[in-house]
Copies of this chain bind each other. A is one copy, B any other.
Amino acid sequence: MRRGRPALWVKWGLPHGINAGDAIFTLANLAMLRLEEVSNPMVTLHAARVLHQTSLLLTQGQYLDLEYEKRDEISLDDYQPMIERKTAALLSASTKLGPLVAGAGDRKTAYYGEFGRSLGLAFQIQDDLLGIWGDQAKTGKSNQSDLITGKKSLPVLFGLAQNGEFARRWRRGSIQPDELDRLADQLETEGAQRYAQERASEFTQEALTALQRAEPVGEAGQALHSLTLQLLGRED
């Protein structure tokens, strides 16, 4: 299921799923080259290179994610290398391509890239927090909690590193819906929620600092600032 609908491969079979993915991947690359119609060849090549390099990072992130699923113990240090590639790289490319095409210059473009990267890291950790303490995850009947799916999110890795009651329970195997409340509370008591909130705040602050350095102007600049606070669930 993706966004509440069956994935393409479920509906039409794996071979068509893989093939359609390749086709859409190619269409994205072709769309990027159409930049040439409104920009110059050098900028178009640069943008295409950014997209390809980002795609490569995404496959590295996916590789780490698949490996982490198999390994019993992942340390806190393993977390960032994975979300840098799986989440932050794509947001960084998105925020870098605009200034690149607008001819904003290398320094400004790098700040925008840094803005997207930090925003991506903050956003992923926020998503991890919601996966355990969000409204959807908290309702006992839900199977959406990351504690049930076994996702090695940042709060879980923090909890495992504490080697306390949470870690002992996690290592005994699958967590059941009726344990959710107690385990989420236990994880909170051990400091995992606070730790993740602090990391998310740090990255949010880094994102806002990078955005300030990029000196966005006018309505669009204000929109980026609002978007950041909105994505992270904070007031503007």
Residues of A whose CB lies within 8 Å of any CB of B are 14-16, 18-23, 25-27, 29-30, 33, 36, 41-42, 44-45, 48-49, 52-53, 55-56, 58-60, 62-63, 66
Contact = CB atoms under 8 A, between A and B. Distances in A.
Given A16-B66, A48-B33, A23 B59 contact: yes
Contacts of A15: 62, 66
Contacts of A25: 22, 25
Copy tally for this chain in the complex stands at 2
Contacts of A62: 15, 19
A48 B22 CA distance: 16
A16 B63 contact: yes
Nearest to A70: B13
Contacts of A42: 41
Nearest to A18: B18
Nearest to A42: B41
Secondary structure at chain A's binding surface: helix, strand, loop or mixed? Answer: helix
A66 B13 CA distance: 10
Contact of A56 (B26, B59, B63): B26
Contacts of A58: 22
A59 to B, nearest CB: 4
Nearest to A23: B59
A33 B16 contact: no
Given A23-B59, A48-B48, A62-B19, A53 B30 contact: yes
Contacts of A33: 45, 48-49, 52
Contacts of A53: 30
B16 A55 contact: no
A35 to B, nearest CB: 9
B59 A22 contact: yes
